Structure 1
Amino acid sequence: MSPFRGTNGIAFGPDGRLHVAEYLSGRISALDLTTGEIEVIVPVGSVVQSPDDLAFGADGSMYIADLAPGRVWRRDPLGELTLVSDEVKAPNGITCVGNRLFVNEMRPGGRLLELFPDGGEPVVLTDGLPLGNAMQLGPDGLLYYPHMLTGEVHRISPDGGTPELVAEVRSPVAVRFDREGALLILTTGADGEITRISPTGQRQLLTTGVFGLDNAAVDDDNRVYVSSFASGGIAELFPDGRIRQIVPQGLVGPYGVTGVHVADHYRVAGDRKVSFTHGVAADQERLHTTSQYGEVRTDGKVRAKGLSCPLGIAVRDDGVLVVAETGAGRVIAIDADDTITVLAEGLHEPVDVAFDGQRCYVSDEHGVHRIDDGRPVPIAEGLAAPQGLAVRDGELFVVEVGRRRVLAVDLTTGEIRTEAEDLALSPLETVPRALHVHGMPGCPRGFAGLAVAPDGALLVSGDGEVVRLRPRT
């Protein structure tokens, strides 16, 4: 298990520690690379919601790109947070040139801007960026930044002008310079490739094996460290591409779970392909998933799209897929012809679904319901954030995140008992966080999943791990 649920922007602070932003958990920590000690300096629940990149100014202030709400923050050396701007759409790449602050937008048609922490209107250096991301000032005094969609790296003067194409690589996510002046271009692919371009223009391709590279930082001794949005951890990069894992990788969710599969936000755990997976269900050899982008897929094939934050998914006995469409407050069915039918509506943010034969159960913020003839009938009320559901031996199990426990509901008598308690579950996961990125719709919302393993054990997902609960004897 990793202490980080995905690692995004990283940068060395004035104290020599490596500062790490976690987009999914909304937290920033400082890592002492010598001792391994980690201190949370911007905790979950602060005004910063989804930090994706960070940089330090000459005065020691930290600047934070808060992607989803579209804000840029300043954390002064005393730890006080103040808003720099809420006029940047999907801010991501951020860097400082002395005390000058620059940020770009991770969206189609994005901009690269200079912001003024002490007041003043933002200045647009250039626009039309097809997904900007992590950037840095080069030895030549120009700002270097990637175009993620087109596979290009450009540079521009901090005072504006015409951008110049520098390099073309596949899926660039970040650009950094080492102490020798070499340009490092990180890519998001499964092999964790980094293109190194020396000051003389010589190219070297480094294959790290780190899935989902996100960012890099270079210390005073020219040691390079990399982060991963998809698998977390912090690794040191050697000149030949080998890595030394300093902070272990781990799950960044996880959310939906089956007996053998785990939906880990950016992928199904173990799969080296970014798929933004939230809910997951297995049916013989087929795998069904939901995603933050409103899709339902079977083995990668789109079965439905344009849904409003679909989360939990289950397979009915007749092979029909049933999905909790959280944003629409309903439960839908998708048949073999991909026809969508509404099974129930008027729910309050339904999260998960489960079946006992043909009987369907759904959890929402008000409790757990059985769907009878299109109507949700309460079977357990007064629960604190009920989420994942699973059926075993005539009982319906539910993860009650708000009280960090798993309950069992007898489907014959209605009696409720506690199956397990004091679980590592975060109530903050109950809050949906819409991704208001122009041109990039989505609804990243975590939830604690629940499944029955082949041997009858319950599997509970959440807070970076999957917990196995042995059946009671």
Structure 2
Amino acid sequence: MTAVLAPAGLAAPTRFDPTGRARPHSRRWRIERLNRPNPLWGSNGVAFGPDGRLYVAQFLAGPISAVDPVSGEIETVVPLDGPVQAPDDLAFGADGSMYIADLPAGRVWRRTPAGAYHLVSDEVEVPNGITCIGDRLFVNEMRVDGRLLELFPDGSRGPKVVAEGLAMGNAMQQGPDGLLYYPQIVVGELWRVPPDGGVPELVASDVPGPVGARFDRDGMLVGVSSGMSGQLTRIDVFGDGRRSVLATGVPGIDNLAIDAAGRMFLSSYAGGGVTVLRPDGRSRELVPQSLNGPFGVTADARGTVYAADHYRLGRVEGRADGGVQTLEIFNGAHGVVALGRELHLTSETGEVLTYHLGERTPRVRAAGLRLPMGIAVGAGGVPVVAETGAGRVVAVPAAGGITVLAAGLDHPVDVAFDEEGRCYVSEERRGAVLRVESNGALTTFASGLGGPQGLVVRGSELFTVETEHRRLVSFCLETGRRRVEAERLPVGLPPGIEREEPDPVPGVAGRPRRFAGLALAPDGSLLLSANGEGTVLRLSPR
């Protein structure tokens, strides 16, 4: 491993602790960050406000922040505990009001310049792409057979259908010709339609995974693609139709905003942050990327650290400047464990996957599981998964299918094995750690815990993260003796914030269930997912 941040690096403002004064405490372990904290919980819709700042919607947690386009200074404008649950896109009206697409809740909000919130509509299914033309408000639905609607904030009438049959719409904009331009993600196409309605017209096809349609200062239509390369496709729709493709190198672009100088401000749902792309091709990070979670964490035999980060699999570089490299875009990546040159992952969409590090190829081992979360390697190198939604612990052999090791649990979150091959599972809602016996019976190993999640065994000790108390505790496997190892851990939402997760929307990548993972590194240190601030913490014995 390369150099990591010194313990003093823990004293810095983060999204978990704006004061920068709180830090983890442990007498037994030296705690250090392996990457810089993430100032944003992902970055999705972006738009310039009347004050000239760039406003960034953070779908993964709920806030909207204003970013100074020069300094990168960030101010939270729509807080975590406000009425907006999961903003995915935003736009500003002529009077300075902010309009917000609250995707899972199916709501569209208006936030006045004075900071008051008004519900514009709850009749839009999966609202996402949103734009204003003067005082007029338009929004589309990110679903198959979706609609493009005009909404009326004054409540004078219900939604008016402008176009329908969309194959998952997203970020849209009025073009120089006065028409509305919008993407259809599933079919890889860009379309346009008059704002008053009419016959939609196909503008461009073969645009990979388009999540946005924007116009640059030269009047070129820019199709925004969401893949690994961060591709932008510039199309001369008012001339000869010629195209040019730019690979920005920003994985998982979600949206972009263009200022008067022609600079593009790119957001990333995969890694957060904001990247500025100049007309001459130069780029810089205005707000640095990092981890949006992380959730599952692991280390391979060489000590390289990997994190499952909901929308991606990342390699944690372990540098003082805080790099995280995106290896692959995934949907709902949650748990991860290393075995040789392979990483086994769980996805909240119900899959267990194996990713080969050399070939950079994922393959599906199992599908149709109900919210699989924590994962560990059991006997014979077979991945074993906590299937949270089904209350089971299952093994997933390479030959296919699953083997149920235990059933009848309430809310299993993670699994771990000791050196004798015994399996342990954390029961978050019951506040317990259970042991799975060879016959499938469950015995209570530890109880009275506050929301135990991540599990790992180190020698003769078992460790778990008590998320309710934000501390790490250990248990002697032989005597059951309990000891608090570290306190004041930045896991979960910031202190004082309570939020209910919106129900998942079928077919749409939802918000992750909070999970503070644990792993053992080859040098005997512990790795912890500090999902409150977007870092991986290394705990080394003093």
Matched, 1:176 2:214: yes
Q: Pick from 291, 299, 308: which aligns with 1:263?
A: 308
How far off its partner does 1:334 sit?
2.0
For residues 3 and 440 of structure 1, what CA distance do their matches in structure 2 show? 25
Q: Pick from 261, 274, 281: which aligns with 1:221?
A: 261
Q: Cα 1:210–1:435, aligned 2, differ >3 Å: closer, same or farther?
A: farther
Note if contact 1:385-1:430 (Cα within 8 Å) is conserved in structure 2: no
In the TM superposition, 1:131-142 aligns within 5 A as: 131-142=168-179
For residues 399 and 439 of structure 1, what CA distance do their matches in structure 2 show? 31
Matched, 1:144 2:181: yes
Matched, 1:287 2:343: yes
Q: Pick from 262, 279, 282: which aligns with 1:242?
A: 282
In structure 2, the partner of 1:315 is 377
Matched, 1:468 2:538: yes
For residues 100 and 438 of structure 1, what CA distance do their matches in structure 2 show? 30
Please give the TM-score of this superposition, normalised by the length of structure 1.
Answer: 0.95
How far off its partner does 1:434 sit?
5.8
In structure 1, the partner of 2:520 is 452
Note if contact 2:492-2:514 (Cα within 8 Å) is conserved in structure 1: no
In structure 2, the partner of 1:278 is 334
For residues 399 and 193 of structure 1, what CA distance do their matches in structure 2 show? 39
Q: Cα 1:437–1:287, aligned 2, differ >3 Å: closer, same or farther?
A: same
SS in 1 for 2:311: coil
In structure 1, the partner of 2:425 is 362
SS in 1 for 2:389: helix
Deviates more, 1:90-99 or 1:41-50: 41-50
Q: Pick from 374, 383, 403: which aligns with 2:440?
A: 374
For residues 342 and 326 of structure 2, what CA distance do their matches in structure 1 show? 15
Q: Cα 1:344–1:443, aligned 2, differ >3 Å: closer, same or farther?
A: farther
Letter in 2 for 1:203: R
Sequence identity (%) = 58
Note if contact 2:137-2:151 (Cα within 8 Å) is conserved in structure 1: yes
Please give the TM-score of this superposition, normalised by the length of structure 2.
Answer: 0.83
How far off its partner does 1:431 sit?
7.4
User: Once the two structures are superposed, what CA deviation does each residue of 1:421-453 show, in whole Å capped at 9, x if it has no partner?
Assistant: 112112479978466334447673231111011
Q: Cα 1:412–1:431, aligned 2, differ >3 Å: closer, same or farther?
A: farther
How far off its partner does 1:240 sit?
4.2
Deviates more, 1:208-217 or 1:348-357: 348-357
Ranges in structure 2 where 5+ consecutive residues have no aligned partner:
1-35, 300-304, 315-324, 356-361
Matched, 1:67 2:135: no
In structure 2, the partner of 1:302 is 364
For residues 287 and 463 of structure 2, what CA distance do their matches in structure 1 show? 35
How far off its partner does 1:39 sit?
0.8
Matched, 1:122 2:138: no
SS in 1 for 2:306: coil
CA RMSD of aligned residues (A): 2.0
Q: Cα 1:335–1:235, aligned 2, differ >3 Å: closer, same or farther?
A: closer
Q: Pick from 177, 192, 197: which aligns with 1:160?
A: 197
How far off its partner does 1:99 sit?
1.6
In the TM superposition, 1:331-350 aligns within 5 A as: 331-350=393-412
Q: Cα 1:292–1:83, aligned 2, differ >3 Å: closer, same or farther?
A: same
User: Once the two structures are superposed, what CA deviation does each residue of 1:174-199 show, in whole Å capped at 9, x if it has no partner?
Assistant: 11122332222111121111112345
Q: Pick from 84, 98, 103: which aligns with 2:120?
A: 84
SS in 1 for 2:138: strand
Ranges in structure 1 where 5+ consecutive residues have no aligned partner:
none
Letter in 2 for 1:379: F
Letter in 2 for 1:86: D
Greater relative contact order: 1 or 2 (C-alpha under 8 angstroms, separation 6 or more)? 2
SS in 2 for 1:253: coil
Letter in 2 for 1:244: R
Note if contact 2:267-2:274 (Cα within 8 Å) is conserved in structure 1: yes
Letter in 2 for 1:125: V
Note if contact 1:90-1:438 (Cα within 8 Å) is conserved in structure 2: no
How far off its partner does 1:84 sit?
1.7
For residues 443 and 154 of structure 2, what CA distance do their matches in structure 1 show? 56
Q: Pick from 89, 107, 118: which aligns with 1:53?
A: 89
Letter in 1 for 2:478: T
SS in 2 for 1:117: coil
User: Once the two structures are superposed, what CA deviation does each residue of 1:381-423 show, in whole Å capped at 9, x if it has no partner?
Assistant: 2322211111001111111122221111111111111111112
